[in-house]
Chain A
């Protein structure tokens, strides 16, 4: 009798879910934010699963920080819905916020406290039980390399250490969702490597969203990337997808005895050839029709003296510029 009744009650209280995926820790739909007439974020959708690191990429003013402020309940969205661990952030903010650790752009540090006191305060604010508090603080300090400075006043720490305290503050209560706004700003290269390793480690058990405009960082730590521009997502894919975009469907070949350019154009799969001088050519081809093999055999048959063949690598910067500028060009065209 009892189990069935419980099941019935369970069904009654089944929340209206956007998705039934239990691994989905952050789910935002149609998120918009206006400041007066300026639209900072435009109908943005965002999903993050447990064990995933999402990189939020974009130029300054793209709306990354605004998005993060909305996801952490610091800013109310003008429209849209946010669910954190299947709890509606707008309807039950206190319960939803308990699942979030947030490092804002400026770490929220009380300069008059020492590191341990500060982290204890944060743990208390996040309702870490009295018995677990000391160990939670110790773990967070060890993870962020703060054990040596635990008795120092935060105001007297260097910028890099303050940033680390900021990260420790976001993870001390072991939240399901960790949101980091430019976490490696102000750190030296060694610290950056440490923090990236830490983010990777955190990403195994928790969900992490980090914003940055450092592209190698995204490659180093993220599983998925969303690129924002003018408040909209212009690209959303896995890191592999980003790399594919990088490959750029082009290659450079160098020949000792170059033939007529038309002979190169005649090779199967080649879409366009551009002479760079001194026997070097850029070969462009259609996606999924890599002509490398045909080129090598043609070069052998024609005795062109092929000594170098390199696939052209678009740097991430190129991809980024391509994606964000494209949008601008489109807008200009529309306006015209």
Chain B
């Protein structure tokens, strides 16, 4: 049932010009950034050769491309997710899903899976660019895996937050702005809050704050470090907001 709903969402995404536009714009931005980095790398390559242990091309070209991708997703995911619940509510098509023998959990997980499949396409396109370099040089595949996993986890967090925002209103644009605001607030506040809480010795609140700071959890994996705590925090963030969205949908049935 989750897959049926995911398929429907994916189809709806590709039926709208928005999804194609997002794919195009993301690819243009990332492609330009990637080529700039590659150009820079080629220029400083002679100097790098003089170092005893120089950073590789993966670190200098792929990692910044992934960082750009993370920033681009911050804008793209709220736009892609905004319609998923808000528009169904506005067009009163949500009734179809709610009247069908599927649970609220199935509905939200189906929508999330559909969105993640689309985001997986973006991530794979990002991955394709550094992979092209493998034809001419040796890549650090460990780091590349770490970066891809980090970007996927980040996308999952963004997607869950955006879906929750979409469940709060019947106006898609409002949902997108809300999601963007929430994500931005998390990026700014999550990090400083975590640091200051830890400085005061409040370990438990600091741990909670880290769940709410997706970029902080992106960094270790982005450096090729398998930080299981950061991975768990990323998954928790996604799970929390998915549960909130399910509860929100259920609450609508109760409140009317």
Genuine A/B complex: yes
A contact residues vs B (CB 8 Å cutoff): 33, 35, 69, 72-76, 93-95, 97-98, 100, 102, 104, 106, 108-113, 121-122, 124-127, 169
List, sorted by A's number, 11 A–B pairs whose CB atoms are closer than 8 Å: A74-B98, A74-B253, A75-B253, A76-B253, A97-B100, A97-B101, A106-B92, A108-B96, A112-B15, A121-B8, A122-B100
Q: CB-CB < 8 A to B92: which residues of A?
A: 104, 106, 108
Main secondary structure of the interface of B (DSSP, over half): helix
Do A125 and B253 have beta carbons less than 8 Å apart?
no
Q: CB-CB < 8 A to A110: which residues of B?
A: 8, 12, 93
Q: Mark B99-136, 1 if CB is under 8 A from A, else 0.
A: 11111000000000000000000000000000000000
- Measured in the bound complex, the distance between the Cα atoms of B94 and A111 in whole Å is 13
Say yes or no: is B182 at the interface (Cβ < 8 Å to chain A).
no
- Closest CB of chain B to A133's CB: distance in Å? 11
Question: Who on chain A is nearest to B250 by CB?
Answer: A76
- Closest CB of chain A to B248's CB: distance in Å? 14
Interface residues contributed by chain B, number (CB under 8 Å): 24
- Measured in the bound complex, the distance between the Cα atoms of B99 and A94 in whole Å is 9
Q: Mark B1-27, 1 if CB is under 8 A from A, else 0.
A: 100110010011001100000000000
- Closest CB of chain B to A119's CB: distance in Å? 11
Do A94 and B102 have beta carbons less than 8 Å apart?
yes
Partner of B101, one of A69, A76, A108, A126: A126
- Closest CB of chain A to B105's CB: distance in Å? 10
Most A Cβ at <10 Å: residue of B12, B16, B101, B253: B101
Do B101 and A35 have beta carbons less than 8 Å apart?
no
Most A Cβ at <10 Å: residue of B1, B5, B93, B103: B93
Say yes or no: is B46 at the interface (Cβ < 8 Å to chain A).
no
Say yes or no: is B204 at the interface (Cβ < 8 Å to chain A).
no
Partner of A112, one of B4, B16, B103: B16
Do B256 and A102 have beta carbons less than 8 Å apart?
no
Q: CB-CB < 8 A to A75: which residues of B?
A: 253, 256
Closest A-B pairs by Cβ, 7 of them: A108-B96, A112-B15, A98-B101, A125-B100, A108-B93, A97-B101, A106-B92
Question: Who on chain A is nearest to B94 by CB?
Answer: A108
Q: CB-CB < 8 A to A126: which residues of B?
A: 100-101
B contact residues vs A (CB 8 Å cutoff): 1, 4-5, 8, 11-12, 15-16, 91-103, 253-254, 256
- Measured in the bound complex, the distance between the Cα atoms of B101 and A95 in whole Å is 7
- Closest CB of chain B to A261's CB: distance in Å? 58
Partner of A124, one of B4, B16, B254: B4
Q: CB-CB < 8 A to A122: which residues of B?
A: 96, 100
Do A125 and B4 have beta carbons less than 8 Å apart?
yes
- Closest CB of chain B to A77's CB: distance in Å? 10
Question: Who on chain B is nearest to A125 by CB?
Answer: B100
- Measured in the bound complex, the distance between the Cα atoms of B93 and A334 in whole Å is 43
Most A Cβ at <10 Å: residue of B1, B94, B100: B100
A-B contacts besides A95-B101, A98-B101, 12 pairs, CB < 8 Å: A74-B95, A75-B256, A76-B254, A93-B103, A102-B95, A108-B94, A108-B99, A110-B12, A113-B15, A124-B4, A125-B4, A125-B96
- Measured in the bound complex, the distance between the Cα atoms of B93 and A73 in whole Å is 15
Q: CB-CB < 8 A to A106: which residues of B?
A: 91-92
Question: Who on chain A is nearest to B104 by CB?
Answer: A93
- Measured in the bound complex, the distance between the Cα atoms of B99 and A111 in whole Å is 19
Q: CB-CB < 8 A to B102: which residues of A?
A: 94, 125
Known: A35-B256, A108-B92, A112-B15. A72 touches B8 (CB 8 A): no
Q: CB-CB < 8 A to A94: which residues of B?
A: 101-103
- Measured in the bound complex, the distance between the Cα atoms of B8 and A76 in whole Å is 27
- Measured in the bound complex, the distance between the Cα atoms of B101 and A127 in whole Å is 8
Question: Who on chain B is nearest to A97 by CB?
Answer: B101
- Measured in the bound complex, the distance between the Cα atoms of B256 and A94 in whole Å is 19
- Closest CB of chain A to B41's CB: distance in Å? 44
- Closest CB of chain A to B9's CB: distance in Å? 11
Most B Cβ at <10 Å: residue of A76, A112, A125: A125
- Measured in the bound complex, the distance between the Cα atoms of B254 and A93 in whole Å is 14
Do A121 and B4 have beta carbons less than 8 Å apart?
yes
Known: A109-B93, A121-B4. A100 touches B12 (CB 8 A): no
Q: CB-CB < 8 A to B93: which residues of A?
A: 108-110
- Closest CB of chain A to B130's CB: distance in Å? 35
Do A125 and B97 have beta carbons less than 8 Å apart?
yes
- Closest CB of chain A to B18's CB: distance in Å? 12
Do A125 and B95 have beta carbons less than 8 Å apart?
no
Do B101 and A112 have beta carbons less than 8 Å apart?
no
Q: CB-CB < 8 A to B95: which residues of A?
A: 74, 102, 104, 108
Question: Who on chain B is nearest to A121 by CB?
Answer: B8
- Measured in the bound complex, the distance between the Cα atoms of B91 and A74 in whole Å is 15
